[in-house]
Each structure stands twice: as C-alpha cells, then as structure tokens.
Amino acid sequence: MKKTAFLKWLSLGMLLSVAVACGKEDDDDLNNPPAKEEQKPTASDPTPDTKGQLPKLVENQSLRFNLWAENNVGWVGSFNGSNLPITQYIDYVKVSSYDESTKSFKEEWTDEFESFNTTRWSKGNWAIGIVTERTDNIVVEDGVLQLKLTKEMVDGTAKYYGAELLSKESFKYGRYEAKMKMACAPGCISSMFLYYNDSYISGKNWNELDIEVLGKNSNAFQSNIITGISSAKTTTEKIHALPFDVRNDYHIYVMEWTPEYVSWSIDGVEMRRTVAK
C-alpha cells in the first residue's frame, strides 16, 4: 500500500473510531439523564405590619393541624367529594420557645409520632365547614401521623368527616416546625396553624396564624394573620406560589412568632415576613 493511501486509510479509521465513541457517549447520556435539581421556592422581602396586627397577638395559642372542607368556590374550589378519601401526613412536629432577651429560639420538644402522645395532643370532634371532625380520622402508622378526610353514605345521604389535631399546651412566642405531605382536593383545606382557643367566643380576642393549602391549587399555600374579635376580624392573607406539588413529597413548614416579626418558611426558604412597625 502506498504511503499516501495508507495515511488516508488511517485517518478514516480514526474518524470512525471517534464517531463510534461519541455515539456511545450520546447513548449513555440518553440512558442516564442527569438528575433534576430540586426546585426551591423563591424567598420574599420583609413587609411592614401595616394593619398593626402584631401588637394584638397577645394570647397564648394552641398548635393545630386540620383537614376539612368548605363550600366556597372562590376560596378553595368546588367541592363534590369525588376525590375522597384524602390524607395529610405529618412526619414530625418540633416546638421551640423564644427568649426575648437573647432573641433566640430553644427547642422544647420534638414529636416523631412513634405513638400517639395523649399527654401532648387532643383530637377534635366538632363541626367545621361542611364536615364533622372525627377522632377516628387521626391515626399513627409507621412513625407518621395521618389526618384523613372521608366520605360515608348514611341513609342514602353523603356525610363528610374531617380531622383536627391540637396541642394541649398553649404557646406564645416561638418557632413551630412540621415535616408534612399536605392534602389537596377541590373544596378542601389542609393546614397547620396557631389559634387562641377562646377566639370564637363573642368579645374575646381572635388570635390566629395560618399555613393553609387551599383545594383549588396544589402548587401554593396561603399564609394569614387574624386578629380582632369574632364579629370583626382583621386578616392579611397572602398566596405563595411553589415550584412543586405539595401532595407529592414531604416538605418542612415553619412559622416563627416573635414581638418583632412573624414569618413563614418552607424547606428553609422564607416566603413571608411581617415586621412590626
């Protein structure tokens, strides 16, 4: 073989080898796509307490979680019960107190739900919205507490049953954290909130701080401060868009309440901070 022909043959062989190798790499890329980056919520800037609500948060409040339904299309979507049962899952709850002198939080306790702690928690059994809360709709299985929203036919009529978990202890300033997989279906509300137990009584202070997933959108949650009295409440609701569906995975939800601010966070990202004027 002449030298020129040999060199052409050698060059062609090298090009073919490179092409085969590149094709294999492309196949490997197709068969093993890179892992998706976990999407995080977008942080927000602090906003002033323009309605003067923080100084009115004066009552000790119980920590609560509930799953219920309401006929309010504009707020939570149109309820028909066809998606029931649904479940809100709570992996753990952590409560920390707040030291006003050092402006720091101190963990008081964590409940990982190895069992249902009757000295720490109660179960609601009252009517709310279009459901009746039932104690049987709260269960602990495999280290997870579950709140269930269910439907039953009674004498040919559909009856709906929700669930509410509430702490026996009431708290004031502190940090309240829960790892949860929230529920969501049209007309339903899945929540974590702080609530002054006498708020519903006429003339009493209404004090409440909320995290609520509203049934018409599983990619958002609502934060809220409620003050005033039952007949004249002041609210500051805000909807926060999320880059994930709250039903699919566990996320860490946190509320911090101090004399200087109230904040709401998910997975370490602060979504809202209302600061005292």
What tens digit of pLDDT does each residue of 250-260 get?
Answer: 999 999 999 99
> Does residue 250 belong to any structural domain of this protein?
yes
Whether residues 9 and 75 share a domain: the answer is no
What pLDDT sits at residue 41? 85
In the chain, the number of structural domains is 2
Q: What is the residue-averaged pLDDT of the chain? A: 90
CATH assignment at residue 71: 2.60.120.200
Whether residues 9 and 67 share a domain: the answer is no
> Does residue 176 belong to any structural domain of this protein?
yes
Whether residues 142 and 201 share a domain: the answer is yes
Range(s) of the domain holding residue 222: 47-275
Whether residues 52 and 13 share a domain: the answer is no
> Does residue 188 belong to any structural domain of this protein?
yes
Whether residues 13 and 124 share a domain: the answer is no
What pLDDT sits at residue 39? 76
Whether residues 188 and 241 share a domain: the answer is yes
What pLDDT sits at residue 9? 43
Whether residues 73 and 205 share a domain: the answer is yes
Whether residues 133 and 237 share a domain: the answer is yes
Hey, what amino acid is at 230?
S
> Does residue 26 belong to any structural domain of this protein?
yes
> Does residue 39 belong to any structural domain of this protein?
no
What pLDDT sits at residue 222? 98
Whether residues 22 and 158 share a domain: the answer is no
> Does residue 75 belong to any structural domain of this protein?
yes
What gap in Å lies between CA 186 and CA 205, rounded to an integer?
A: 31
pLDDT in tens, 171-201: 999 999 999 999 999 999 999 999 999 999 9
- Tell me the whole-structure pTM to 2 decimals: 0.85
Hey, which residues are catalytic here?
208, 212
> Does residue 38 belong to any structural domain of this protein?
no
Place 22 in a pLDDT band, splitting at 50, 70 and 90.
very low
Distance of alpha carbon 234 from its chain centroid, rounded?
23
Whether residues 98 and 22 share a domain: the answer is no
Distance of alpha carbon 190 from its chain centroid, rounded?
8
Residues 238, 221: contact at Cβ < 8 Å?
no
pLDDT above 80 (res 16): no
Tokens of 192: 């974590």
> Does residue 25 belong to any structural domain of this protein?
yes
What gap in Å lies between CA 212 and CA 187, rounded to an integer?
A: 13
Q: What is the 3-state secondary structure (H, E, C) of the chain?
A: CCHHHHHHHHHHHHHHHHHHHHHHHHHHHHHCCCCCCCCCCCCCCCEECCCCCHHHCCCCEEEEEEEEECCEHHHHECCCCCCCCEEEEEEEEEEEEEECCCCEEEEEEEECCCCCCCCCEEECCCEECCEEECHHHEEEECCEEEEEEEEEEECCEEEEEEEEEEEEEEECCEEEEEEEECCCCCCEEEEEEEECCCCCCCCCECCEEEEEEECCCCCEEEEEEEEEECCEEEECCEEEECCCCCCCCCEEEEEEECCCEEEEEECCEEEEEEECC
Q: Strand 174-181 and strand 86-99: pairing?
A: antiparallel
Whether residues 219 and 167 share a domain: the answer is yes
What pLDDT sits at residue 34? 57
pLDDT in tens, 122-168: 999 999 999 999 999 999 999 999 999 999 999 999 999 999 999 99
Whether residues 171 and 74 share a domain: the answer is yes
